[in-house]
A = this chain, B = another copy of it.
């Protein structure tokens, strides 16, 4: 049967408090004692009971992941990365899909703290970039990590895992320019997403560096969806001076652009180059396969989880938080250009 702290204590010949000290890595335990306890833990396959810990202690052993993202692959990657980090440290993960439109996150956050006693949260866009959410989390004295597009990290770098959309978009645009493209359409995502601004900036910077003037009519507003990709691409392609390449702010919009091009009997990449962003699985399953920027979501999630977990832990135990915190945790990620089959030389020469 499942063994408890009492069993371990008896076996090691110490009090339960000492066992508690050992498993929590508290100071003031003689090495010899520590070893006795560890051996007993080993032999009995002891695992502290989470419910009891949550009930008794001031700190808790569950964290939550808050998200609202239509891309299931993104969410799954995040979950798996965090789960991995949690498992390694004996934490539990509560997943919490929320609705960014309905504005109930703050209440939900409070409920999470009061009811489930979560110790920390991982915030993903758009929540991670919403001031009221950040304020609430601070007010609740919750440990948190924000996964954000670099632009949104401001003075809070300490609590952020950044994705440098600008740098990645710069690379993508440069790739297009190197293939001779001069008129490059830009399909932007929803205004409310910091990432779309970052991507637009990268696009602009690359143009500027190449000495190409920005043509405002080539930048089309949209909203990160397949349909808006179709619409945006159509608008672009039906204009008098259509672009020779289209930079879609994410893969879904790129797939939409592909769809629109097909409808108009435009050959990809011979007559038009199209790039996406994100490297979602279906970017490999389009025809032709999409050139895109790979975002290492699983890795990002792992780092994010490690960050919150370290925070929660360093509160209780007397560890060098600063030293521990940075160990092996990447805090800025630059999505990497992935050249596949949807881009080629500009037909314009």
| Chain A residues with a Cβ under 8 A of chain B | 2, 47, 49-52, 54-55, 72-73, 75-76, 79-80, 83, 92-95, 97, 111, 114-117, 226, 252, 255-256, 258-259, 262, 281-282, 284-287
Contacts and interface: CB of A to CB of B under 8 A. Distances in A.
30 contacts: A2-B115, A47-B114, A47-B115, A49-B115, A49-B117, A50-B51, A50-B115, A51-B54, A51-B55, A52-B55, A55-B55, A72-B72, A72-B73, A72-B76, A72-B281, A76-B76, A79-B97, A80-B97, A83-B95, A83-B97, A92-B116, A93-B95, A255-B282, A255-B285, A256-B285, A258-B287, A259-B285, A282-B282, A285-B286, A287-B287
Contacts of A79: 95, 97
A19 B29 CA distance: 43
A38 to B, nearest CB: 19
Chain A at the B interface: SS class: helix
Contacts of A49: 55, 115, 117
Contacts of A286: 285-286
A51 B54 CA distance: 6
A111 B76 CA distance: 23
A285 B282 contact: yes
A10 to B, nearest CB: 19
A94 B95 CA distance: 8
A8 to B, nearest CB: 15
